[in-house]
Structure 1
Amino acid sequence: MGEKGLPRAERRRRTEGRILESARALFAEVGFERATIRAIAGRAEVDPALVMQYFGSKQELFQRAVRVAPVPHGEPGADEAVDQLLGTLGLKMGELPQSSLAMMRSMLTHPEAAVSARKVLGEQIDRLAQAVPGEDARLRAALMMMIMLGVTVGHQLLDLDELRGVPPADIARLLRPGLQALAGPAAS
């Protein structure tokens, strides 16, 4: 069955998925500032107006692209969640939008920024926890998210020499065992 024979909701879901995949790739390659809606649409093979219709703005598209997607429960879910989480490293270590950097700089000193950061992180933790087994799934998902936040802060705000210029794939290789341990089956 071709794409035309699919229900409208399924076609929309697939188009949105293609746009998000294209956005993730382009943001990781060239950063937020240089990635354009037109280029993202071109990669996804859709009209740029459709990107705006689905996401509203480049900032919202970026936020959705770096968000951890829910993964179905089950044995492969935890591994897929770790893969998705590590897949965002290229974005988080690339050129972030000024609004994201401002949020990270402000979240520890300004109450309003802290509330906003907690909300965003809470939503990401909720989605990640769906793939983590056990009664302590939210705690383990929160620890996973904080590891990723720490790497992002170390790279983006502190400009640590040890992280500068290191390919995201190398960082992902080193983080993977720890994240898999947190995402794996709950301890008895």
Structure 2
Amino acid sequence: MPTPHQSRADHHQSRADRRRATEARILDGARELFAERGFDRTTIRAVATSAGVDPALVMQYFGSKRELFTTAVQAAPAPPPDAGPDTLVDQLLATLGLKLGGLPEGTLAMMRSMLTDPAAADHARAALGRQIDGIGAALPEDEDPELRAALVVSTLLGVSVGHQMLGLSPLREAPADRIAALLRPALAALTTPAP
């Protein structure tokens, strides 16, 4: 029999797990809907329905539709703290594959705006900062985790900009899996501690 203390700890852990699972379901639904409908035609209610939650919960977790959009489309899911470097690299490349598959016009507009509109820049900075924090938390603390995470995020952002906004021929003509295969060793080097 677990002691009452263990029982509370188990309950607390499962509640945290449930929250993470719910956030992941919301983000998955949001990614699909934003890709299919674009930013303007995607509603919080539709995202909530696809995730099987109340719309108020979506707002509680993400604050606004714009924040949800930025998180869902631009930010990689934070890997679990005990994930190995391979799992982290897989998640990063999966997110890049989503972007290379074609971003909705709303995302492109936001990416264009983040360089000229201070409000859009603040939103992008906050979303990228959360992504850097999530990736950094999965890296060894004695290996410049925040700097390594910022380099990973900046690299992936640069590839997305070159592919989606600038239409650089070598990026546009290469299959997403080839781009991922070439990037994998670079991302692995940034996320794996030195020997």
TM-score of the superposed pair, with normalisation by structure 2: 0.68
Aligned identity (percent) is 57
Q: CA deviation at 1:101?
A: 3.3
Segments of structure 2 that go 5 or more residues without pairing to the other structure are 1-10
Instruction: Classify 1:167/1:50 alpha carbon distance in 2 versus 1 (closer, same or farther; 3 Å).
Output: farther
Q: What does residue 3 of structure 1 align with?
A: none
The answer as to 2:50 corresponding to 1:67 is no
- Residue of structure 2 aligned with 1:145, choices 134, 148, 153: 153
CA deviation vs aligned residue, 1:121-146 (integer Å, no higher than 9, x gap) = 33322221111223322222121111
Q: CA deviation at 1:158?
A: 0.5
The answer as to 2:92 corresponding to 1:85 is yes
- Residue of structure 2 aligned with 1:125, choices 125, 129, 132: 132
Alignment partners' CA distance in 2, 1:46 and 1:160: 40
Alignment partners' CA distance in 2, 1:113 and 1:47: 27
Q: Secondary structure at the match of 2:172?
A: coil
Q: CA deviation at 1:178?
A: 1.5
The number of residue pairs the alignment matches comes to 179
The answer as to 2:29 corresponding to 1:22 is yes
Alignment partners' CA distance in 1, 2:59 and 2:143: 39
Aligned 8 A contact 1:32 1:62 in 2: no
TM-score of the superposed pair, with normalisation by structure 1: 0.70
Segments of structure 1 that go 5 or more residues without pairing to the other structure are 1-5
- Residue of structure 1 aligned with 2:167, choices 136, 159, 164: 159
Equivalent residue letter for 1:101: L
Q: CA deviation at 1:159?
A: 1.4
